[in-house]
Amino acid sequence: MDINRVREGAVLICPMKVPGGGIYLGDMHAMQGDGEIAGHTTDVSGIVTLKVEVLKGLTIDGPILLPVEEDLPYLAKPITASERKQAEQLAAEWGMEKQLEESLPLSFIGTGENLNAATDNGMERAAKLLEMSVPEVMNRATITGSIEIGRHPGVVTVTFLVPVERIKKLKLEKYVAEQYM
């Protein structure tokens, strides 16, 4: 994937598309950066400690990434208790009756022949899994996240705050809560 946010402490949820499929790690980079625009980086040796769990019943088309919190786009970071209190006060001031949405971040990996196709793929994967329209995913990524280049020409991460109710429906709340709460 060549995504610099796939690093120590990150959680990567991958589809199993072949019965008995295994796990492969390789191509470790010392200077991985967003875009890897030159088409290469500096490969190094490394030691990886990996914990694997099988999530039966989760059907996904591509990887979902839970980066470490410091790697999240600014707009996709979970709000703090203090920020929530301020938002609730402001909502009350303006007469808003609806509760603020409880949400946590997810990053969807999109791939394609170029960055436009990869972006469309990432948004479509998110929309399908979360039972949202692509325009809703686009708006959420714009307002509560970002789309970042993993590797040129065609790997991106589509990151945004997802309603906790949708995360619970997927039975991923344990992993997302452990990563961000």
In a domain, 6, yes or no: no
In a domain, 5, yes or no: no
Tokens of 127: 């929309």
In a domain, 153, yes or no: yes
In a domain, 74, yes or no: yes
Can you tell me the distance from the alpha carbon of 70 to that of 78, in angstroms, rounded to the nearest whole number?
A: 11
pLDDT at residue 33, as a whole number: 65
Confidence of residue 67 (pLDDT cuts 50, 70, 90): very high
Confidence of residue 34 (pLDDT cuts 50, 70, 90): confident
Residue 30 scores a pLDDT above 90: no
Note down the domain range covering 62: 11-180
Confidence of residue 44 (pLDDT cuts 50, 70, 90): confident
Q: What are the two backbone dihedrals, phi and then psi, of residue 122, each rounded to the nearest 5 degrees? A: -60, -45
Mean pLDDT (whole number) for 23-49 = 78
Percent pLDDT > 70 in the chain is: 98
Q: Please state, rounded to an integer, the average pLDDT across all residues of the chain.
A: 91
In a domain, 164, yes or no: yes
Q: Rounded to two decimals, what is the model's pTM?
A: 0.92
pLDDT at residue 73, as a whole number: 96
In a domain, 30, yes or no: yes
Q: Which amino acid is at 136?
A: E
pLDDT digits (tens, 9 = 90+) for 101-160: 999 999 999 999 999 999 999 999 999 999 999 999 999 999 999 999 988 889 999 999
Mean pLDDT (whole number) for 4-20 = 90
Strand arrangement, sheet containing 11-13: 11-13, 64-66, 103-111, 155-163, 145-151
Can you tell me the distance from the alpha carbon of 78 to that of 145, in angstroms, rounded to the nearest whole number?
A: 11
Residue 60 scores a pLDDT above 80: yes
Residue 55 scores a pLDDT above 80: yes
In a domain, 120, yes or no: yes
In a domain, 29, yes or no: yes
Number of domains in the chain: 1
